[in-house]
Amino acid sequence: WVVGNVSVPDAELSAVSTGILQALLLEDIDEINILTDSSTAINRILDCSPHSGQQYSLAACDALEPWLEANPDHIIRIYYTPMVLEPERRHCRGRRSKPVVAPGQPGRAATAAAVIKRGHARIRVHESRWVVGNVSVPDAELSAVSTGILQALLLEDVNEIDVLTDSSTAIDRILDCSAHSGQQYSIATCDALEPWLEASLDHIIRIYYTPSDRRWGYLPIHAEAHELARGLQVPGNVVGQMTIDQFKTAADTAATQPWTNQFESPSYRGRNFLVLDSLDAGPLAPTTVKGGPWLQAAKSAVDSEGNSLYSNALFARMCRAILDHAPISSFYERFNFTNGQRSCDCGSLLETRRHIL
């Protein structure tokens, strides 16, 4: 799988953590032996304190804890196997230590979970949860869908995989390997699904969109996954991977905050700016997300038959109305321009802001 733009120790830690999670999916496992040439990964894999790649350590410890407690004979061994030295054995028993949340902690890190049930009887065969990191909600949802598929493929005699998610973004991206936020999850999924689908014509995967506000037969498993993810609380300042969406959000926040502060000054805003209200009764705040609030307003315009009225011309007219300046004819009249059309295309004598609205 693609880990992303991370350091070599983080990539090694990801490999060790994923190896442990996949081993735990197998049946009748009493002993797990891990081989790695990364001493950093060995030191960090069972250390849940804040460090780079902490999400991999939390995922490994969270999965190992019930397995180790289920039977005293269960044991995990991690072997240090450098390329040029004889293997050095290390014995480790995992015990998860939960992170302490400091008072006033600003937010939480994104977490994800997957619940796997088998057959028409929906027998629960596996569940897992993990820390995704400082990422957006769609990225966390994409991580959940990807990991659920990868874990389902580890089970024996699987001919059909049904995935349920309430994220339409995850559905759009999960089999799309082009450049996008969370691309590594899509690549890992496609890489695992391709040989499985080619192995038999009977192999099929279905992805169902199950909004959280619906109440139908499959929803209990969906709700179980949500509750499982919510049960893992990690401080928002956890050191971990960041995705394209998160970088965009951070850049947008950094850019719009000074803009918002300046916009409160009439000398910066101007005297003729049209203030539009949002759905929560507050004024629309400047943002660059998805083209900004006014672009979204133009896109949502529809005629009496429900057809979209959005066009570049409509958006340009909307901007003229909001700003109350060139090239609407009230601007020409105000500054006494002799040239330029002052009447509206519909026949009105003067194109004004009120007339446009």
How many Å apart are CA 322 and CA 187, to the nearest integer?
44
pLDDT at position 341 is 61
CATH number of the domain bearing residue 180: 3.30.420.10
Range of the domain at 127: 106-240
The answer to whether residues 146 and 89 belong to one domain is: no
The answer to whether residues 288 and 345 belong to one domain is: yes
- Only one residue has tokens 């009887």, namely 121
The answer to whether residues 248 and 278 belong to one domain is: yes
pLDDT at position 175 is 92
Total domains in the fold of the chain: 3
pLDDT at position 194 is 94
Which of 240, 265, 289 lies at the terminal end of a domain, its last residue? 240
The answer to whether residues 213 and 288 belong to one domain is: no
Reported as a single tens digit per residue, the pLDDT across 249-259 is 777 777 778 87
**Residue burial 282-314, b: 16+ Cβ < 10 Å; e: rest:** eebeebeeeeeebbebbeeeeeeeeeeebeeee
The answer to whether residues 69 and 139 belong to one domain is: no
Q: Which amino acid is at 182?
A: G
Specify the 3-state DSSP secondary structure of 356. Answer: helix
Bin 86: left if φ > 0, else alpha if -120 < ψ < 50, else beta: beta
The answer to whether residues 129 and 148 belong to one domain is: yes
Tell me how far CA of residue 320 lies from CA of 40, 160, 249, 262, 330, in angstroms.
Answer: 59, 55, 28, 21, 10
The answer to whether residues 92 and 142 belong to one domain is: no
pLDDT at position 87 is 35
Contact 312, 335 (CB under 8 A): no
Which of 99, 114, 147 lies at the terminal end of a domain, its last residue? 99
The answer to whether residues 66 and 153 belong to one domain is: no
pLDDT at position 49 is 82
- Only one residue has tokens 């009439």, namely 266
- Taking only the tens of pLDDT, the chain with its 357 residues reads 878 777 888 888 999 999 998 889 888 888 888 888 887 888 888 888 888 888 899 899 999 989 988 888 888 888 777 643 333 333 322 222 223 232 333 456 778 888 888 877 777 788 888 887 777 788 888 999 999 999 999 888 899 998 888 888 899 999 998 888 888 899 999 999 999 999 999 999 998 887 776 654 445 776 777 777 777 776 655 545 556 666 777 777 777 788 778 877 877 777 666 677 766 667 766 677 666 666 666 666 666 676 766 666 777 777 777 766 555 666 666 666 556 666 666 777 766 667 666
Specify the 3-state DSSP secondary structure of 163. Answer: strand
DSSP 290: G
pLDDT at position 306 is 67
The answer to whether residues 161 and 223 belong to one domain is: yes
The answer to whether residues 156 and 223 belong to one domain is: yes
CB atoms within 10 A of CB 158: 14
Tokens of 49: 């304190």
The answer to whether residues 179 and 275 belong to one domain is: no
Number of C-alpha atoms within 13 angstroms, CB side, residue 140? 23
Contact 238, 135 (CB under 8 A): no
The answer to whether residues 58 and 85 belong to one domain is: yes
Which of 99, 120, 136 lies at the terminal end of a domain, its last residue? 99
CA dihedral 264, 266, 267, 270 (to 10 degrees): 110
